[in-house]
Amino acid sequence: MFKSALRRLLGGFALALSITPSAHAGVLNLPNFVEVGAWGFAVEPQITLTSGAGLSGTGKFTYGLNELSNLQLGVGTGSGPKQFHAGGALTFDFVPDVESQPGLGVALQAYYQKGALLNQVELTAIPYLHKEFDTGAGKVDPFLALPIGFGFEVGQSSNQYTPISLASVGATFRSDEAFRYTIELGIAINNTDSYVSGGVTYRH
C-alpha cells in the first residue's frame, strides 16, 4: 500500500515536470553504495520551496569504481530561479552499513548551476549517515546529509564566492534489489534553497 502511494506521488512529480519542465541536485541515492562494476540510474523530480518556487528534474548515473568509491554523474533542468545544472560526485563509503553498524561516508561534489540571475559552480563536501532497517514488508534506509562548501560565480570579473550549506534528511525504500524509491527534504542553512524531492533508482 505504501509502495503504491509512493509511486503515485512520484508520478505526480513527473507529470508536473512535463507541464513545467529550479535545478538543484539533491542527495538522493549518494548514501546507497553501488558494488564494484555495478551501476545505477536515478530520476529525481524536485520542488524548490524558496527563492521563487520552481520544479526541476535530474538524471543521475552511478558506477561502482572500487570497494570504497562510487562515481556519480548528473544533469538536469527546470523552471523558476534555476534553469540548468550538470556535474558529478565522488563518494567515499568509509564505514559500510552492516549488521548493527550504521553507514558513514562523504561525497565530494561539483556542479555547474545556471540560473535566471546567477551562474555559478558549486563545490561541496557532503558527509552522510544512514542505516537500513528491515520492516518485514521491505527495507527502509533513513539518511542525514550535511552538504557544505562554496559557490563560485561564473562570468564575474570580481571572482566572487559564497559559502553554502544545507541539511538533507530522507529515506530510501526497497522491496527488491532492482528498484529503490527515495523521498527527501532539503533545509536551507546558508545561501541555498529548501526543497522537497523524490526519486526512483534502478540498479543493475
pLDDT at 119: 87
CB of 165 closer than 8 Å to CB of 146: yes
Output the DSSP codes for 25-48. Answer: ---TTTTSPPPTT-EEEEEEEEEE
Q: What share of the chain is helix, strand, coil (3-state, %, to 5)?
A: 10, 60, 30
For each of the chain's 204 residues, which pLDDT tens digit applies? 445 544 554 444 333 333 333 345 689 899 999 999 999 999 999 998 887 678 889 999 999 999 999 999 999 998 766 689 999 999 999 999 988 899 999 999 999 988 777 788 999 999 999 999 999 889 999 999 999 999 998 876 667 889 999 999 999 999 898 999 999 999 999 998 899 999 999 999
pLDDT at 25: 67
Please report, for the chain, the start and end positions of each structural domain, with discontinuous segments joined by +.
2-203
**Which position has the grid cell 549488521?**
99
pLDDT at 19: 31
pLDDT at 80: 65
Please state which architecture CATH assigns to domain 2-203: Beta Barrel (2.40)
pTM over 0.75: yes
